[in-house]
Structure 1
Amino acid sequence: MAGATPRGRAVRRGPGELESEILATLWATDRALTPAEIQACLRGGLAYNTVHTILRRLHDKGLVLRDAGGRRGAYRPVKNAAQLTAEAMHRALARGPDPIAALQHFVTGLTSAEEAALRALLDEGGA
């Protein structure tokens, strides 16, 4: 059973891990999902109230919206995964004392495919 030890005890998730799992579930569909639908997708033995609480936190952070299109209590993400990742990268660069050095270290850790994609994006002017 996912989310449990062999003895049936719940596995404690790391900080933000449950939020990430719920966002990933929402990104995997093109429609808003209810807490019950998300709970069923996660298959981790989570209580409905836990899923609903995490959705409220994500809503308070501006990461999900409650669907106003008829399905009461359904949620959808505000941004896709790539947009959130890019924002996190920008925040990380802004926090550091030397963003250029951080970028240099980042680039040296890229795979050859990631490096080729980055070069192509830069050649296109970032479009």
Structure 2
Amino acid sequence: MKVEDDLAVMAHNGGTGITTVDVSDPTDPEELAFHDAHHVHNAFLKDGYAYLTISESDENTFSEARTDIVDVSDPMDPKKIGEYRLADDFPEFAAGGLARTTTSTSKTASSIRRTGMQASSSRT
């Protein structure tokens, strides 16, 4: 579970998605919505966006590894707005089942822009 201000995001490890939760009263958390995303391994929350690490794969461990970007500014209606796929910029790592420990900022930014999201975390 990740928390930012009064919002928590719970990933269902290896499961079917994330749940947004209002934690403005920690003694009485309120489930707000569920966002379907198969094979979510973890989720991170920053500036109204949830970044979901997806470990879906076929024969190779990282063949379909990706990060989904979900706008949770309206936690009652989370919406996927982009994704970054390891195979798009590093196909040899995805095909070989190897994880890359560092990524190129320019490659990451260009991949995110291809899906319609700006690389900046600032919001308008």
TM-score above 0.5:
no
Greater CA radius of gyration, 1 or 2?
Answer: 1
Structure in which a larger fraction of residues adopt strand:
2
TM-score w.r.t. length of structure 1 = 0.21
